[in-house]
Amino acid sequence: MAGIREILNLERIDRDIYRGPVIESILQRTFGGQVAAQSLVAATRTVEEGYEVNSLHAYFVGPGIPDVPTVFLVDRIRDGRSFVSRHVKAVQNGNTIFVMQASFHRTGDSGIEHSDKMRPVPDPEEIFVDTDKLPSVTRLLFDEWAEWDIRPVPPERIDHDPYRASEQKVWFRSRSELPDNPTLHVCTLAYMSDMTLLTSALVPHPEAKLQEASLDHAMWFLRPFRADEWLLYDQVSPSAHAGRALTHGRLFNRSGELVAVVTQEGLTRTLRPGAKNVPHKAPEE
Q: Which residues are catalytic?
A: 194, 214, 264
DSSP 8-state code for residue 203: T
89 neighbors 101 (Cβ within 8 angstroms): no
Nearest to 107 by CA among 87, 86, 81: 81
Determine the straight-line distance between the first and last CA of the chain, rounded to whole angstroms.
15
DSSP 8-state code for residue 27: B
Q: What is the DSSP string of 129-191?
A: --GGGS-HHHHHHHHHTTTEEEEEPPGGGS---TT-S-EEEEEEEESS---S-HHHHHHHHHH
In degrees and rounded to multiples of 5, residue 70 shows phi and psi of -110, 130
Instruction: Specify the pairing of strand 70-79 against strand 11-14.
Output: unpaired
Q: Angle 280-283-285 (CA atoms, 0-180°, nearest 5)? A: 80
Give residue 19's Cα distance to chain centre: 20
Nearest to 182 by CA among 73, 269, 259, 252: 259
94 burial (CB, 10 Å; 0-12 / 13-18 / 19+) is exposed
- Residue 234 CA to residue 237 CA, distance in Å, equals 11
